[in-house]
Structure formats: C-alpha cells, structure tokens
C-alpha cells in the first residue's frame, strides 16, 4: 500500500520484535490486551499503521508502516517507552516480576519488509501466537 506525503510516495514497512526484560512471560490476559491497545493508540497518534500485531507472553511482533522521515530506532523507543509507562502504571504488580522497572529488554529485531515477503511475514506473525499458547 503506497502512502503519500507532501514530498514523497512511499511504502516503508518493518517487521519489529521486542522482548520483555529477562524474557519474563508477563504479557498475558489483561496485560496483553492492554499492551496491544496502548501500542495501537501510540501508532495511530503518530500517523503510523499497524499491518499486523501479536502480543505473545514474552514478546511482541509487529508489522508496522512508518514514514521515510522516521528513524526506526526512534519509533521503537517511543513504542517501548510509552507502553512501559502505562503498563507499569495500570498494572503495578509487574514491578515485582521485573526488576528495576524495565518492562522491555534494551534490544529489538527489525527487518525491512518488501512486497515479496509481506505475506510470509504476516503468516509468521500469526503463527507465533499459536506456537506460544
């Protein structure tokens, strides 16, 4: 899907994966639902698009479309920082499961997604939920 800005026509899709600190399986039930809601709101407010998302107990997979002016490192920082803030605020019990108030591990995986691999990435993300149930 092509998008337009004042100076460009583009499609910049990324497959993102970020893990909870220590791979702790804290993203379950209400926490997982709320994490997804928060990420969807953050993405919508920034004008980005989620093409696919799965919140698994210890990590998140996203296929996200952003503008070419955005740096992916800033996008990830914003997603992780905002979601962490609200999840710790709404679920204070997370602090007992994760030391030092860090929800997310500092690293992440990112791969640019071309049209050729889009369907493959979507299937992969959808299958992750089944694998971790």
Q: Does the annotation mark 124 as catalytic?
A: yes
User: Out of 14, 85, 86, 124, which one is annotated catalytic?
Assistant: 124
Contacts 24+ apart (CB under 8 A), 124-128: 124/61, 125/15, 125/52, 125/53, 125/54, 125/61, 125/62, 125/63, 126/52, 126/54, 128/54, 128/56, 128/61
Q: What positions carry a catalytic annotation?
A: 124
């Amino acid at each position: 899907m092509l998008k337009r800005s004042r100076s460009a026509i583009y499609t910049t899709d990324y497959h993102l994966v970020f893990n909870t600190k220590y791979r702790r399986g804290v993203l379950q039930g209400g926490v997982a639902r709320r994490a997804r809601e928060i990420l969807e709101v953050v993405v919508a407010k920034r004008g980005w698009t989620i093409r696919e998302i799965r919140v698994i107990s210890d990590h998140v997979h996203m296929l996200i479309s952003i503008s070419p002016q955005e740096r992916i490192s800033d996008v990830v920082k914003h997603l992780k920082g905002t979601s962490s803030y609200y999840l710790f605020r709404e679920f204070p019990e997370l602090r007992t499961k994760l030391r030092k108030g860090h929800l997310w591990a500092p690293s992440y995986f990112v791969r640019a997604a071309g049209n050729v691999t889009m369907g493959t990435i979507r299937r992969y993300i959808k299958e992750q939920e089944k694998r971790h149930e």
